[in-house]
Amino acid sequence: MKFGSSGVRGLASDLAGRASGLYTEGFARRLRATGFEQGKVFVGRDLRDSSPAIAHDCMAALAAAGFQPVDCGPIPTPALAFYARRQGAAALMVTGSHIPADRNGIKFYGPKGEIDKADEAAITAHVAELSDQYPWPPTYADWQAGHEQALAAFRDRVGGILPPGALSGMRLGVYQHSTVAAELLVEVLRSLGADVIPVGKSDTFVPVDTEAVGQETMAKVRDWVREFKFDAVVSADADADRPLVIDENGELFRGDLIGLATALFLKADVVVTPVTSNSGIAAAFGFSVRRTKVGSPFVIEGMDAARQAGGIIVGFEANGGVLLGSDCLVNGKILSALPTRDSFLPILAVLGTVASTGKSLSNLRETWNLPVCASERLENFPVETSRGLMRKLADRDALQRFLAPFGMVADVDETDGLRALMTSGEIIHLRPSGNAPEFRCYAEAASHERASEIVAMALERVRVATLADKTEAV
């Protein structure tokens, strides 16, 4: 287990029990060290089979550490974070987000919001210090419930983003699968006048990665679009901090385009987004752009730095999760800052833009005329294998040989992984996942077909190269 781009993650079997208690104790010690001596800690979870038991372990550890756990049950991460922030309390979310069902994780929030890299390092140090002596199990008890209160507060927040009836005339599908946002998304969209049809509800956990949507998922969504004549299909990942939007033709509306639409909807002055987001998102849209490493802690750090200049600050990642770094006026009301990934604000911003302009989602994409992006991943790709490959490709000659089928390398951005700009103008970005044993590739090209071809070819070259290294080692 380790901290990745958002929270600590590992196999659910490794995290359950003593390990979840140990990380929670490390979090409790960090809270005390930063001035949060005692008080409520709101605890939520996603719908994985392993999440209830891990959440229970975390609450027991919090109580043993002198805090007051409040059980918020299955709830969207942004709803939990918003409620805790409004109460000036800490929070803890048990979720593996988009990763497979056999894995899980914990996200931590201090009274001011999502923890940063310094907090992660401190918690990791506490875990190492306590690992041989942490007592387990603590005494279990009944916890105070906070599910309905937290949901009600978030429902009020998102319900005021668009005016009443703003989505009237739109026919929308909500892909429910096993996201904690399933019912709330339907409720919110119907309250705004949309004709909503829920589809794809699943009793077993379905990992949905909004940054690398599987072909099987896309095929199902296209069938629903044809059957129901949807204007759009929307969804979210397991804990609802990443949105999924599919257009009226059954094509993916990529996460960085969702982020761009949200920034324009909010009239942002500054946009903070990782290097993996579309390179065409630039100052020409009317805001300054700051690029970061991948991961919400880095985006939050960038938003904090931008706050000195004032104005409306919006952060987003290529997975579509939007972080609001400042209060802003929306629909005649103040929408308070929420510096953690949220799927509801961007979904409403995109749909509100479509409804107010009369353009379809595909029209919106064409209007911006950005480079076309594609991304995919190799799953179950060992972390050490990823590290070995990246060390090898850090040599510019080795990288050129690896990318030779795509032309000549003109420049390389090493902010996060290796992002190669080719002399053709195409971009190939190779990067190990920070959350799971996966290897990712992002590409930009003149067409979707070409970008997808680059990603497929590059990942195949990664697979072949690592197999060859293993053979040589034997």
The pLDDT of 345-363, averaged and rounded, is 96
Q: What is the pLDDT of residue 217?
A: 93
Residue 29's pLDDT is 96
Which helix (H) or strand (E) element contains residue 9? strand 8-11
386 and 342 share one domain: no
- Write the CB contacts of 182 (distance below 8 Å, at least 6 apart in sequence): 174, 176, 198, 201
CATH number (domain holding residue 456):
3.30.310.50
- Quote the pLDDT of residue 469: 64
For residues 98 and 52, membership in a common domain is answered with: yes
Residues 6+ apart with CB under 8 A from 253: 232, 245, 246, 247, 350, 361, 365
**pLDDT per residue as tens digits for the range 294-342:** 988 899 999 999 988 889 999 999 999 999 999 999 999 999 999 999 9
The whole-number average pLDDT for the span 408-424 is 96
Confidence of residue 474 (pLDDT cuts 50, 70, 90): very low
CATH number of residue 351's parent domain: 3.40.120.10
Question: Across residues 389-417, what is the average pLDDT?
Answer: 95
* Token couple for 433: 């996942």
Confidence of residue 437 (pLDDT cuts 50, 70, 90): confident
- Residues 318 and 253 reside in one and the same domain: yes
Q: How many domains does the chain have?
A: 3
Active site residue 97: yes
Pair 188, 313 in one domain: yes
What is the pLDDT, as a whole number, of residue 98?
86
Cα angle for residues 28, 56, 74 (degrees, 5° grid): 105
pLDDT at 435: 67
If asked whether residues 30 and 50 sit together in one domain, one would say yes
Q: What is the reported pLDDT for 272?
A: 97
Mean pLDDT within 359-375: 92
1-5, 69-73, 299-303, 331-335: which has the minimum mean pLDDT? 1-5
* Residue 207 forms part of a structural domain: yes
Separation of alpha carbons 24 and 32, rounded Å = 12
Residues 54 and 103 in one domain: yes
pLDDT at 212: 82
Whether residues 353 and 461 fall in one domain = no
Place of tokens 């949220």: 342
Point out the catalytic residue in the list 5, 6, 20, 97.
97
* Claim to verify: residue 140 and residue 51 sit in the same structural domain: yes
Q: Which domain holds residue 64?
A: 2-152
- Per-residue confidence at 455, pLDDT binned at 50, 70, 90? very high
Does a structural domain hold residue 161? no
Could you tell me if 339 and 351 lie in one domain? yes
pLDDT in tens, 175-219: 999 999 999 999 999 999 999 999 999 999 999 989 888 889 999
Mind listing the pLDDT tens digit for each residue in 225-276?
A: 999 999 999 999 999 999 999 999 999 999 999 999 999 999 999 999 999 9
The whole-number average pLDDT for the span 59-74 is: 96
Same-domain check for residues 383 and 360: no
The label of the residue with tokens 């800690």 reads 41
DSSP conformation class of 405: G
Rounded to two decimals, the pTM is 0.91
- The answer to whether residues 98 and 13 belong to one domain is yes
The answer to whether residue 278 is domain-embedded is: yes
Q: Do 208 and 341 belong together in one domain?
A: yes
Residue 100 has a pLDDT of 87
Residue 159 in any domain: the answer is no
pLDDT score of 472: 54
Spatial separation of the C-alpha atoms in residues 276 and 263, rounded to whole Å = 17
